[in-house]
Amino acid sequence: MTQAKKLYIKTYGCQMNVYDSERMAEALGGQGYVETSSPEDADMILLNTCHIREKAAEKVYSELGRFKGLKAAKPELKIGVAGCVAQAEGEEIMRRQPMVDLVVGPQSYHRLPELEARAGAGQKALDTDFPVEDKFDHLSDRPKAKRGPTAFLTVQEGCDKFCAFCVVPYTRGAEVSRPAARVLAEARDLVERGVREITLLGQNVNAYHGAGPDGDWGLARLIRELAKIDGLERIRYTTSHPNDMGDDLIAAHGEVAELMPYLHLPVQSGSDRILKRMNRSHTAEQYLRLIERIRAARPDILLSGDFIVGFPEETEADFQATLALVEAVRYGQCYSFKYSPRPGTPAAERALVDEAEASERLQRLQALLSRQQAEIQAAMVGREVGVLFEKPGRLDGQLVGKSDHLHAVHAQAPEALLGRIARVKIVDSAPNSLAGVVLDA
Ligand code: 5AD
Ligand code: SF4
């Protein structure tokens, strides 16, 4: 028997990249690769890159530089770059780092086996097309390996919103939804393999409009059908745009027990002037009314968001409007960033606000967000929540998992509860986790 080739994948960025890396590992499994956690052992190194953070491409080039020694010692080692930096940089990657054998954009992963074969034959392999077919179509012949209790499932990709700061419409391309039957089949397969919680992924997941047997399905319909799968106990989805938060989806939050009370709904800024310049096409007031309607459907829903401070032309008054919006919403969890220009986006041409000023605003915003997060976590103490235990905790006899509201919870619990949902009473709150006591072991 020939020895299995070893694949080392390093994943950067969002959950969709995590999902894509799993699919790529499965696809390359069909080519005789098994995964390794050490690049030194690898026959192929694949960087699944992210373009959202500052100087993303430069960081990939320096990461690649670190593999030069490995490649020199083992010339048959293949080095590949996937993900959004691969899409954005394309051929430039092979020009600047000639040791790279393979460059594949996020919409071309179904061509990975073919690209690997080309690279194996000593050719340079590059694919950054936006093909029309489903990139997961040909990646589905995977072994039925047992899975952990939680999984991501990509249902939609790309974005047509063109927020002025964002590279996603350029790197992930136009908005495309996977057909409903395919999503349902993949979900059933995951459940058969032990998954209890599925997070539906999409850059604009609530814009989902996949073909169904009776016309296009929106995300709400998809969630209602997924909820009927026996053994699928929890459903989440991320990331959503306020303008695609339809009445049916809001209603589903009140009606579908499996749909967890957590919603990531980025607003980016609380100033209408800045929202307009960001091309967000909604106002702060519209966002706040939307939150009210969502909370009317599901009063205990925990909201999370993304914010950008120091966007071009942001004044102290604009920033105050952001703080006021945060005060009004009360978020359970947020990500906040200082604006930084992404080449090729409209905002990249605009004058920057003073760096020190932007940093100071970010600190003030983060102080407020941390305070809100701590208050909301503290308010969980004494409450009973469902916890899906995922793995052993740091202490003996401890398990950790996520609550319905996506809080990390640890508790003394028998191993038999791994992969199961238990009722847990929250007894303490630390900065990034809650402590609980299992009620019905
Ligand atoms: N500068 C700062 N933050 C950005 N984000 C996206 N592009 C930029 C940028 N150019 C943030 C947004 C988005 C999150 C994923 O990353 O808040 O919602
Ligand atoms: Fe980027 Fe999200 Fe705006 Fe689309 S909606 S352009 S992914 S920030």
Strand blocks (E) in 99-149: 102-104, 125-127
Query: Both 364 and 402 in a single domain?
Result: no
Query: Both 256 and 206 in a single domain?
Result: yes
What CATH number did the domain enclosing 287 receive?
3.30.750.200
Q: End of a domain among 260, 295, 316?
A: 260
Q: End of a domain among 95, 127, 159?
A: 127
What CATH number did the domain enclosing 402 receive?
2.40.50
pLDDT given for residue 317 in this prediction: 98
Strand blocks (E) in 116-229: 125-127, 150-154, 156-157, 176-177, 197-201, 209-212, 215-218
With a CB cutoff of 8 Å and minimum separation 6, the contacts of 230 are 191
Best of 51, 84, 166 for a ligand 2 pocket test (most atoms within 8 Å of beta carbon): 166
With a CB cutoff of 8 Å and minimum separation 6, the contacts of 93 are 60, 61, 64, 81, 85, 86, 100, 103
Decide if 139 is inside a domain. Answer: no
Decide if 136 is inside a domain. Answer: no
Determine the Cα–Cα distance for residues 441 and 428; give it in Å rounded to an integer: 19
Decide if 135 is inside a domain. Answer: no
Task: Output the CA 164–ligand 2 centroid distance in Å.
Answer: 9
- Ligand 2 and 264: CB distance under 6 A: no
Query: Both 39 and 78 in a single domain?
Result: yes
pLDDT given for residue 139 in this prediction: 55
Query: Both 109 and 151 in a single domain?
Result: no
Decide if 356 is inside a domain. Answer: yes
State the closest ligand 2 atom to the C-alpha of 172, by its place in the atom list counted from 1: 7
- Tens-level pLDDT at each residue, the chain (441 residues): 567 899 999 999 888 898 899 889 988 988 889 999 999 999 999 999 998 877 888 899 999 998 989 998 998 999 999 999 998 888 889 999 989 999 999 888 888 888 988 888 888 888 887 766 666 665 555 556 788 999 999 999 999 999 999 999 998 889 999 999 999 999 999 999 999 999 999 999 999 999 999 999 999 999 999 999 999 999 999 999 999 999 999 999 999 999 999 999 999 999 999 999 999 999 999 999 999 999 999 999 999 999 999 999 999 999 999 999 999 999 999 999 999 999 889 999 999 999 999 999 999 999 999 999 999 999 999 999 999 999 999 999 999 999 999 999 999 999 999 999 999 999 999 988 999 999 975
Which residue range forms the structural domain that includes residue 104? 5-127
State the closest ligand 1 atom to the C-alpha of 165, by its place in the atom list counted from 1: 10
pLDDT given for residue 144 in this prediction: 64
Query: Both 207 and 307 in a single domain?
Result: no
How many Å is the maximal CA-CA distance in the chain? 69
Which ligand has the minimum distance to the alpha carbon of residue 306? 1
Task: Output the CA 224–ligand 1 centroid distance in Å.
Answer: 31
What CATH number did the domain enclosing 109 receive?
3.40.50.12160
Decide if 357 is inside a domain. Answer: yes
Q: End of a domain among 214, 233, 260?
A: 260
Decide if 137 is inside a domain. Answer: no
Query: Both 228 and 251 in a single domain?
Result: yes
Which ligand has the minimum distance to the alpha carbon of residue 52? 1
Query: Both 167 and 120 in a single domain?
Result: no
Decide if 140 is inside a domain. Answer: no
Q: Are the C-beta atoms of 44 and 6 separated by less than 8 Å?
A: yes
Query: Both 281 and 320 in a single domain?
Result: yes
Best of 51, 265, 337 for a ligand 1 pocket test (most atoms within 8 Å of beta carbon): 337
Query: Both 301 and 402 in a single domain?
Result: no
Query: Both 9 and 123 in a single domain?
Result: yes
Task: Output the CA 71–ligand 1 centroid distance in Å.
Answer: 34
Query: Both 343 and 392 in a single domain?
Result: no
Determine the Cα–Cα distance for residues 394 and 407; give it in Å rounded to an integer: 17
Query: Both 368 and 394 in a single domain?
Result: no
What CATH number did the domain enclosing 256 receive?
3.30.750.210
The sign of the torsion formed by the CA atoms of 222, 224, 225, 229 equals positive
Total tally of structural domains belonging to the chain: 4
Q: Apex CA 342: angle with CA 332 and CA 349, to 5°?
A: 120
Q: What is the 3-state secondary structure (H, E, C) of 359-412?
A: HHHHHHHHHHHHHHHHHHHHCCCCCEEEEEEEEECCCCCEEEEEECCCCEEEEE
Half-sphere exposure of 105 (CA within 13 A, CB side): 19
Decide if 133 is inside a domain. Answer: no
**And the tokens for 81?**
């770059």
**And the tokens for 103?**
């460059």
Determine the Cα–Cα distance for residues 230 and 197; give it in Å rounded to an integer: 12
| CA nearest neighbour of 196 among 228, 234, 229 | 234
With a CB cutoff of 8 Å and minimum separation 6, the contacts of 97 are 61, 64, 65
- Ligand 2 and 218: CB distance under 6 A: no
| CA nearest neighbour of 150 among 256, 234, 225, 231 | 234
